[in-house]
Structure formats: C-alpha cells, structure tokens
Homo-oligomer: A and B are copies of this chain.
C-alpha cells in the first residue's frame, strides 16, 4: 500500500523493534528489544498492545532470546523463556498461542533460525488476514462515505493494517475519499490517542468526538457505516468488544446505520453459546474517577456484549457474513 502506516513492530538486524504506544500521539518513539526482560516489560506495560500484535511481538522476542543458546540446553531454555514471557500478561490468548507454537516447533527443530522463520510466518499470516479483511470490507465504503469507529482495532493493535481499520486503509490506498468519526473511547481514550492518530498518519480525514456525541452525529451529520473490532464473537454471533460498542449498535439500529464488526476468524469462540456466558472484566474505579470525583462509587466494565440482532454483518478474512448461517459457511470454508 502507498499509505503511511505506523511501524507497530518490525524485525530487523535480528532484533525486535516496537513502537512505544504509551507515548502516542505526543511522541513517535521506538523501543529496541535486546533481552527477554525487555520484551516482558514491553508487554506488561502495554508498550505493545492489541491481541494479534502481542502474539507477533512475543514470537519474535522468544526467537530472539534463543539466538545464543547452546543446542544441548535449547529445548529446556526455550520452554523456560516461553513461560516467563507468558507471565507478562497471563490473560492474553494470542501471547500463549504464539509462544506455544514456537515451543512446539523448537522441540522438533531446536534451532534459532527455525524459530525466527516461524515468527515471521506468524507475522505474515497476520498481515495476510488483515489485508483480506480490508479487501472484503472495502466493498462497504462508498466514495464520500461518512464512517464511525470506536476504540482501536487498528494498525497499532494488529501488526500492520488492523481489523476495523483495514477496509479504510484499503480504500485510502485506492484513492477513494471518505471521512471517519472516531469515538474518543472513555475511560482510556484509545480512540483519541491511537485511532485518530493512526488514521491521520495515513492521510485519512478524521474527526474526533466524545462517545456521547455519536447520536447527534448520526441525527444531524449522517453516518453511512460503523465498523468496530471485537475481542470475541460467541457461537450465536454475539459480539464482545470495548465498552461503548453496544451503545453504538443500538444507535445504529435507531438511525438505520449499518453496523459491521471486523475480525479474524480466530476470534470466533464456538465453545461459548452466547454473550450471556461471557464474564466482563471490571477495571479500577480510578480510571473513571480521575481527579474529578475522588470518593464516588464507580462501575467500570471494560467490555460490553452486543447481541447478534444488532449486528449487520461480520467481516472476516474469508468474506462478509450477514447472519449465523453465512458465518458458519464462511468458517467451514
């Protein structure tokens, strides 16, 4: 693509280099990962964030940590390093998945070069998936369209093109003009800090709004399409995503705006029947309180569940599914 995308993570000169997302958008700083400890801290402190990006970063970091390990000790050390890396964010599914994949490969082929190749394959697969999501989703973005997105399901979270943002980057690259409203995404401002920044870097026309302005934007400015990412899609098509997503989906139904969810097929959780079974993480009250309300009770759910009835379609690397039948067909290939 001929557009400027952040170098979220790169492998160069046998080193992993990470964009330091904690400093965005004020500073575009990079962090060189030279030791396993560097990687552990980068994952733990959210220097790198977003499930797929964490997985790719962990794969490279684990490979890098095995560069000078003697062959007689290789498998033992590989397993030990993998366990240590996983402890940086025990709930990150992609972190465990990527490091387990390298341990399996390294047990069969105990060599640094094989591990690097495996990490590169994980990275390449991630890029391919995002590109395919972009290609399929791009068909939804007409010239002059007004889009709206929430949180960051972008390039910063998913190696290069992102999920919700991939169709936008695809159309931007094709020279199609459109405009994106970005919800700031309280309480952690991922929309304001990350999505608005990365879309602007790519030359996309962006307007930042507060989350509570989406309704009036739909009523008075007109929104043609909402695309968001997701952390999990349950067996019935319910969508678990950043808090505020359900709010948007209800508004979309009311104002007749198509509501699309973009994600790799690996996001489908066939073992959980519906969103009702998903336990929603509640985070610290101080994230909401800030300096304004030092003592007050706070309810701070990190995610919400959007019922399948409010979802117009799900964009995957295999195509767009508009209901559960189409979804199962897509996933079955």
- Residues of A in contact with B (beta carbons under 8 Å apart): 25-26, 181, 183-187, 189, 192-193, 196-197, 200, 205-217, 219, 221, 243-244, 246-247, 250-251, 253-255, 280, 288-301, 304-305
A292 in complex: contacting residue of B25, B211, B243, B300, CB < 8 Å: B25
Q: How far is the CA of A255 from the CA of B304 in the complex (A)?
A: 15
Query: Quick one: given A208-B298, A304-B216, are A186 and B189 in contact (CB under 8 Å)?
Result: no
Asked if A210 and B208 sit within 8 Å, CB to CB, the answer is no
CB distance from A135 to the nearest CB of B (A): 27
Residues of the B chain whose Cβ atoms lie less than 8 Å from the Cβ of A210: 186-187, 211, 243-244, 288, 300
Contacts known (A197-B293, A292-B193, A298-B208); A247 close to B215, Cβ less than 8 A: yes
Q: State the CA gap A75–B205 with chains docked (Å).
A: 57
Contact A208:B297 (CB < 8 A) given known A186-B186, A250-B254, A304-B215: yes
Return chain B residues, CB-CB under 8 Å to A254.
Answer: 250, 253-254
Q: Enumerate chain B residues within 8 angstroms of A213, measured Cβ to Cβ.
A: 243-244, 247, 299-301, 304
Can you spell out 6 A-B residue pairs with CB atoms less than 8 angstroms apart?
A25-B292, A184-B186, A208-B297, A212-B247, A216-B243, A216-B280
Q: Which residues of the other chain, B, contact A217 by a CB distance below 8 angstroms?
A: 299
Question: Smallest CB–CB gap between A111 and chain B, Å?
Answer: 45
Known A-B contacts: A192-B290, A216-B280. Give 4 more (CB < 8 A): A186-B210, A186-B211, A197-B293, A207-B297
* Residues in B whose Cβ lies below 8 Å from that of A251: 247, 250
Which residues of chain B come closer than 8 Å to A244, judged between CB atoms? 210, 212-213, 215
Q: Is the CB–CB distance between B296 and A206 below 8 Å?
A: yes
Inside 8 A of A299's CB, which chain B residues have their CB?
A: 181, 207-209, 213, 217, 221
Say how far A249's CB is from chain B's closest CB, in angstroms: 8
Query: Cβ of B246 and Cβ of A293 under 8 Å apart?
Result: no
With known contacts A212-B185, A288-B210, A294–B247 Cβ distance under 8 A: no
Contacts of A208 in B (CB 8 A): 288-289, 293, 296-299
Bound-state Cα–Cα, A243 to B292, Å: 19
Nearest 3 pairs between A and B by C-beta? A212-B244, A215-B247, A216-B304
Chain B residue nearest to A255 (CB atoms) is: B250
Q: Is the CB of B250 within 8 A of A216?
A: no
CA distance A163 to B99 in the complex (A): 58
Instruction: Kindly list chain B residues whose C-beta atoms are within 8 Å of the C-beta of A219.
Output: 246, 304-305
